Amino acid sequence: MTRKYFGTDGIRGKVGEYPITPEFVMKLGWAVGKVLGKNPGDRLVIGKDTRISGYMFESALEAGIAAAGMNVQVLGPMPTPGIAYLTRTFRAAAGIVISASHNSYLDNGIKFFSAEGTKLDDDIEKAIEDYLDKPMTTVSAEKIGKAKRVSTAAGRYIEYCKASIPSSFSFEGFKIVIDCANGAAYSIGPKVFREIGADVQAVFNQPDGLNINAACGATNVDALVKLVTSNKADLGIALDGDADRLIMVDHKGEVVDGDELLYIIAKGAQRRGRLQGGVVGTLMSNLGLEKALAADGIDFIRAKVGDRYVMEQLKKNNWNFGGESSGHIICLDKNTTGDGIIAALQVLAEMVSQNKTLAELKSGMTKYPQVMINVAVSKRQDPMQNEQVVSAVKQAELELADSGRVLLRASGTEPLIRVMIEGDNHSQVERLAKKLASVVKHNL
């Protein structure tokens, strides 16, 4: 379905540039209220991350929703998966997240959860877009909606996270460094891990509205690696700005990415007899994940890049576990969306259950060398429509045989072609990637 405003994960862009403006966001709140406000007393919940523009857009949404006659429950700074959970537990008509995830404070976005804590259906997004093209009106004064702050939101979500692992497990003596990305989990994240008994050092947990994701968090773990090794910690946990991504660091200072974390969680579920089918990765998931799961008899399929598409495949196959190498880990037996804190807890539970270090748990999967080169092109296009490019791809695949794979993908947001090759020989992979990127550059 062609959308005018909605992307794969809500509406996102530069603050102050259409449509990420107060005027548009207020009308968006009104449109959502008109579509979802079916009965008197219906309400929406709103949560946000810590970027400075969140205050402005929170107020704008409140005004628009009230004008449509719906009530609002305001959660304040809250991880995106926490908003999904509270949407369900408060029996709200929908949840609204004000966040641009791993982007800098210069960006912001609005995304939505249904009453069930899942992405909105396409037909609802289409209905909202239809209202955005209509004149905004206000209900009569006695029907205007009200806004109420929820003081118990953080505590409710903390207890929900802790309940995702057995209460009998002891984490006394675990030394953890947690990088909160100066984002939505700056307070909640450290509390969760302290309350299960771990010795926690929290860093990048002083948001000022401008430092979210700045040289920290799941997209930049350099500082976390140094802190884990210098403090002789058992592990490090890196969340992103809205805490739906997770990257970890083992006691050796080695980064453990989303593919490896997904392997650990799925293998643990299989060991306990709770796997329910297979695992969903993406086109970018490392070949090592696929081969490690296959060795354990676990089915694996690839979705398009994006947690929305991972979720689609999970639902289609009635499976529970999926994710991306970037750190989006979905455990549908625990929450309805990707959840960095809950995913980290599952990994910690495996460490306790098996009495193994994080390094030992990930050792069952060997990552294949992977090289990706971004090639700028004049316009967005399908690279596989060019004969020279198709021929070069076939030549690379022939040389790799069964020891690797080739992927060409047009960026969904920029005029770029992403050239990715992986295999068991790094020098071969690097050489083939450069050669294919050159063909793309000179023919597109």
DSSP one-letter string for 27-70: HHHHHHHHHH--STT-EEEEEE-S-THHHHHHHHHHHHHHHTT-
Q: What angle do CA 235, 236, 240 make, to 5 degrees?
A: 155
Buried b (16+ CB within 10 A) or exposed e, 262-273: bbbbbbbbbeee
Alpha-carbon gap, residue 255 to 438, rounded angstroms: 31
C-beta of residue 437 within 8 angstroms of C-beta of residue 375: yes
Give residue 342's region: left, alpha or beta (phi > 0; psi -120 to 50): alpha
C-alpha closest to that of 269 among 161, 354, 155, 169: 354
Q: Respond yes or no: is residue 391 known to be catalytic.
A: no
Q: Distance of CA 275 to CAs 16, 318, 336, Å?
A: 45, 11, 16
Residue of 53, 101, 114, 285 with catalytic role:
101
CA 339 to chain centre: 7
Alpha-carbon gap, residue 290 to 367, rounded angstroms: 10
Alpha-carbon gap, residue 111 to 116, rounded angstroms: 15
Token pair listed for 82:
């926490």
Q: Distance of CA 181 to CAs 204, 234, 322, 327, Å?
A: 5, 20, 23, 14
Q: Distance of CA 81 to CAs 281, 404, 433, Å?
A: 20, 35, 37
C-beta of residue 158 within 8 angstroms of C-beta of residue 183: no
Which residues are tagged catalytic?
Answer: 101
